[in-house]
Amino acid sequence: MDMNTINPDAALQLVTVRLSAKADAQLVDDKDGVNGKLNLTSDGRKYYIAVFRDPSNPFGAERTRVIAQTTDSEDNPVWKAGNPSLIKQFVGKNIPGDIVTKSVVPYTVDGREVMSYTSVVLKGETITSVFKSQGHQLMTSDGVIAGEAAFEEPSDFETETETSEAATTEAAPNAPF
């Protein structure tokens, strides 16, 4: 198995889709949104938050993932994946994905240094690209920053490192909101 992708048999339950709980999050009307609304990034892209959990562990922590529009070649916001009108049909169902925890370049949360990060990685995505898009670079156990090449051979990445709830996807330093 490729160490930069999830187990092909891994599954997550899509628990719900919701809007950002941040008081300053912008809202926009959208017929396909959550109760007719979606959040809006500072650059005009719509987004919402998908909540996932391990379907085999009802007491496991739920993890969030920001799902945002991307832009086309003319910088117009578009749903290339994650269109909320389609995604809402999958709430309560299992989809291919996994909750992944990895060692990352240290960052600060509420004045505390954190050296691991947890994210939802979906089928077809690489772990490196998901973590990078959320503002985190992977590190090997000997402190070397890992790129795509680090996954060509099995590594000794920790996968069960404790992380704080503040270090979830929604709190990513480069999240689009």
List all residues 6 or more positions away from 92 whose beta carbon is below 8 Å from its beta carbon: 13, 14, 15
The SS3 of residue 115 is strand
Q: Please, what is the average pLDDT of the chain?
A: 84
Displacement of CA 158 from its chain's centroid (Å): 18
Which stretch of 33-37, 120-124, 157-161, 168-172 has the lowest confidence by average pLDDT? 157-161
Question: Confidence band (pLDDT; 50, 70, 90) for 146?
Answer: confident
What's the pLDDT tens digit per position in 108-144?
Answer: 999 999 999 999 999 999 999 999 999 999 988 777 7
Mean pLDDT of 138-162: 57
What's the pLDDT tens digit per position in 42-90?
Answer: 999 999 999 999 999 999 999 999 999 999 999 999 999 999 999 999 9
Bridge partners, 14 (sequence order): 52
- Would the pTM of this model clear 0.85, i.e. be above it? no
Report DSSP letters for 43-70, one per residue. Answer: TS-EEEEEEEE-TT-TTSPPEEEEEE-E
Percent of residues, the chain, with pLDDT higher than 90: 75
Mean pLDDT of 32-38: 95
| Assigned token pair, 18 | 């919701």
